Amino acid sequence: MNMAAPDRKPFVYGDFYPEGRVGMPRPPVPVGYAPYALEILREFSASEFIAKVYQLNPSLQWSVLRPEDASRMLWYSLALKTPRMVGFNMQGSARWKIQNVRTESDEQGQYVAVALSSEK
């Protein structure tokens, strides 16, 4: 189901990436080109939050990332096994680390949720 990301909650934008590639720094994601949007669902502090993951599809529409779609993504497979080995390059911010990834649901069905904390 394609849908525009709702405006009722704050969003951040960026890209997920595997950590630990020596000599391969991850460049920042250019503004307007982020493949993922995170809808902040719960904030625990300025450096920790849980978010619903959206992906930008080929028709340039945001859609909720469903577990069955995420299972084909390297970052998701790695995050299920070792969450701290996956980072999130957030536009306009420092890099963030995944603390946890899981399936949650709401009235529209299941979606991928991530818990992130900022790197210090």
Round the CA-based radius of gyration of the chain to a whole number and report it: 14
- Helix (H) or strand (E) segment spanning residue 78: helix 74-81
Residue 53 lies in a domain: yes
Please check whether residue 4 lies inside any domain of the structure: no
Q: What is the pLDDT of residues 15-57, one digit of tens each?
A: 998 876 544 555 665 556 789 999 999 998 889 999 999 999 8
Question: What burial class does residue 100 get, using C-beta atoms within 10 Å of its C-beta: 0-12 exposed, 13-18 middle, 19+ buried?
Answer: middle
Nearest partner of 1 among 51, 65, 58, judged by Cα = 65
**Whose CA is closest to 55, among 67, 40, 71, 38?**
38
Whether the pTM exceeds 0.85: the reply is: no
Residue 6 lies in a domain: no
pLDDT at 45: 87
pLDDT of residue 95: 83
Residue 78 lies in domain: 11-118
